[in-house]
C-alpha cells in the first residue's frame, strides 16, 4: 500500500484515465461534468497561487480578481471581435499577465501583511470596476459567452478543459523545477541570502505575479466558455480566501497539494449544500484540523510529497545561504 501511495507515475496515469472516462462514468451528466470543470478551473488557479505563496513566499489575498479579468477578457473579445478560441484563451492569460505585471512592480517593495493588504485591495476593487464600467462589461447584467460551433457539445469542450488543465499542470511542474522556480524558493527562504548569491529579487518577485496571473486568467477564460456567462459576482474576495485555503489544506509549495486542495474544496459543497450554512463550517473545520494535525497539508500523507523544494527549518544560521548557492549557479536573475 505504501509503495502504491508513493508511486507518482501510477497516480498520474490513474488520474488521466479517470478524467478521460469521467463523462461515461456519470452518464454524460451536465451537473457532474460542470463540477469536474469547476475543479479544473480551481486546480489551475490554486497552482498559480501556490507558485506565488507556497514557492515564492509572497502573500496574495486577491488572486480571484485574475479569474474575473480572464473571464471578462474572453467575453468582451469574443462578443465584440468574434476571435477564435485558440487565440482568446492565450489572450486571456496575456491580458491578465499584464495586469499581474502592473500589480507586481509596486508589490515587490512590500512583504508580509503590507503585501496582503495591498493584494486584498486589488481583489476588492476589480469586481467593483467591472460592475461600474457598464459600457464595456454590461454592469450587473454581465456578458454572455458563446462557444465555437465545433465545441458546442459539452463533452467536446469537457475534453478541451481536461487537456488544457493537464498541459498547465505539466508546465507548472517544469517551472518549479527550473532555475526560475529554484530562484523563487531561494527568495522565499531568505531574500538576503538570495541577493547575496546573485539572484535579482525584484525581477523574480515580479515574475511570480506575472506567471500566477497568466495561468489564473486562462482558468477564468475556461470558466467563461463553460458556463457561457460572466458577471461581477462570479469570483469575489471569498474566492480568493478559498484559494488560499485550498493550498493550505492540500499542501503549500506542492503541485499535487494544490490539486488535492482544489478538488476537495470543489466537491465539499456537493455534499453539504442540502444543509443551509454548513458548507463554510465544514471548510473552516477542515482548515483548522489540517493546520493542527497536518501542517504540511494532506499531500504530506504521500511519499511523493517529499521533494527538494519543500520548505524546511534551517539547522543553523548559515543554512539559508547554503540553500541558494546551487540556485546561483543555475540562474543569474
Of the candidate ranges 135-139, 182-186, 203-207, 313-317, the one whose mean pLDDT is the lowest: 313-317
Question: Which three three-digit cell numbers place residue 92?
Answer: 486571456
Quote the DSSP letter at residue 305: G
pLDDT of residue 13: 87
pLDDT of residue 12: 83
Q: What percent of the chain shows pLDDT beyond 90?
A: 81
Boundaries of domain holding 117: 26-237
Q: Express each pLDDT in 303-333 by its tens digit.
A: 554 554 444 444 444 444 444 555 545 554 4
State the DSSP string of 299-319: GGGSGGG--TTS----SSTTH
Q: Express each pLDDT in 127-144 by its tens digit.
A: 999 999 999 999 999 999
Please compute the mean of the pLDDT values over residues 6-13 and round it to a whole number: 76
Contact 57, 115 (CB under 8 A): no
pTM of the model: 0.90
Query: How many domains does one find in the chain?
Result: 1
Please compute the mean of the pLDDT values over residues 134-155 and round it to a whole number: 94
Beta bridge partners of 151: none
Domain assignment present for residue 296? The answer is: no
Contact 75, 144 (CB under 8 A): yes
d(CA 268, CA 199) in angstroms, rounded, equals 41
Q: Give me the chain's average pLDDT, please.
A: 89
pLDDT of residue 8: 73
Residue 275's pLDDT band (boundaries 50, 70, 90)?
Answer: confident
CB atoms within 10 A of CB 162: 18
Domain assignment present for residue 69? The answer is: yes
Contacts of 66 (CB under 8 A, 6+ apart): 45, 48, 96, 99, 100, 212, 213, 216, 217, 220
Q: Express each pLDDT in 66-115 by its tens digit.
A: 999 999 999 999 999 989 999 999 999 999 999 999 999 998 889 889 99
Domain assignment present for residue 78? The answer is: yes
Domain assignment present for residue 293? The answer is: no
d(CA 71, CA 13) in angstroms, rounded, equals 30
State phi, psi for 294 to the nearest 5 degrees: -140, 70
Question: Which three three-digit cell numbers place residue 210?
Answer: 506575472
Domain assignment present for residue 10? The answer is: no
Domain assignment present for residue 43? The answer is: yes
Domain assignment present for residue 157? The answer is: yes
CB atoms within 10 A of CB 223: 27
pLDDT of residue 111: 87
Domain assignment present for residue 208? The answer is: yes
Buried residues in 86-118 as b, exposed as e (16+ CB within 10 A): eebbebbbebbbebbeebbeebbebeeeebbeb
In angstroms, what CA-CA distances link 152 with 63, 168, 227?
A: 29, 23, 12
Residue 276's pLDDT band (boundaries 50, 70, 90)?
Answer: confident
Terminal Cα distance for the chain, rounded: 43
**What does DSSP say about strands 229-230 and 143-144: parallel, antiparallel, or unpaired?**
antiparallel
Contact 198, 69 (CB under 8 A): no
Amino acid at each position: 500500500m505504501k509503495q502504491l501511495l508513493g508511486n507518482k507515475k501510477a497516480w498520474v496515469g490513474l488520474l488521466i484515465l479517470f478524467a478521460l472516462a469521467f463523462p461515461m462514468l456519470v452518464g454524460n451528466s451536465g451537473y457532474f461534468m460542470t463540477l469536474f470543470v469547476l475543479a479544473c478551473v480551481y486546480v489551475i488557479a490554486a497552482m498559480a497561487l501556490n507558485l506565488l505563496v507556497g514557492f515564492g513566499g509572497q502573500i496574495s489575498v486577491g488572486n480571484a480578481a485574475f479569474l474575473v479579468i480572464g473571464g471578462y477578457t474572453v467575453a468582451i473579445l469574443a462578443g465584440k471581435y468574434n476571435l477564435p478560441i485558440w487565440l482568446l484563451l492565450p489572450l486571456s492569460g496575456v491580458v491578465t499577465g499584464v495586469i499581474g505585471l502592473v500589480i507586481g512592480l509596486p508589490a515587490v517593495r512590500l512583504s508580509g501583511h503590507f503585501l496582503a493588504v495591498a493584494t486584498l485591495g486589488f481583489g476588492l476593487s476589480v469586481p467593483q470596476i467591472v460592475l461600474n464600467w457598464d459600457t464595456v462589461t454590461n454592469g450587473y447584467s454581465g456578458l454572455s459567452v458563446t462557444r465555437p460551433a465545433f465545441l458546442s457539445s459539452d463533452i467536446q469542450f469537457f475534453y478541451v478543459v481536461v487537456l488544457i488543465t493537464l498541459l498547465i499542470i505539466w508546465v507548472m511542474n517544469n517551472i518549479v523545477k527550473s532555475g526560475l522556480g529554484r530562484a523563487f524558493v531561494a527568495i522565499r527562504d531568505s531574500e538576503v541570502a538570495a541577493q547575496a548569491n546573485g539572484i535579482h529579487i525584484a525581477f523574480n518577485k515580479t515574475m511570480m505575479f506575472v506567471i500566477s496571473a497568466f495561468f489564473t486568467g486562462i482558468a477564468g477564460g475556461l470558466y467563461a466558455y463553460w458556463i457561457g456567462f460572466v458577471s461581477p459576482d462570479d469570483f469575489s474576495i471569498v474566492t480568493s480566501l478559498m484559494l488560499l485555503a485550498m493550498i493550505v489544506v492540500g499542501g503549500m509549495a506542492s503541485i499535487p497539494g494544490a490539486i488535492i486542495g482544489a478538488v476537495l474544496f470543489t466537491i465539499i459543497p456537493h455534499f453539504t449544500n442540502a444543509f443551509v450554512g454548513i458548507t463554510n463550517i465544514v471548510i473552516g473545520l477542515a482548515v483548522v484540523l489540517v493546520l493542527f494535525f497536518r501542517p504540511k497539508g494532506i499531500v504530506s500523507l504521500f511519499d511523493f510529497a517529499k521533494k527538494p523544494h519543500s520548505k524546511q527549518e534551517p539547522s543553523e544560521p548559515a543554512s539559508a545561504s547554503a540553500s541558494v548557492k546551487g540556485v546561483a549557479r543555475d540562474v543569474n536573475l
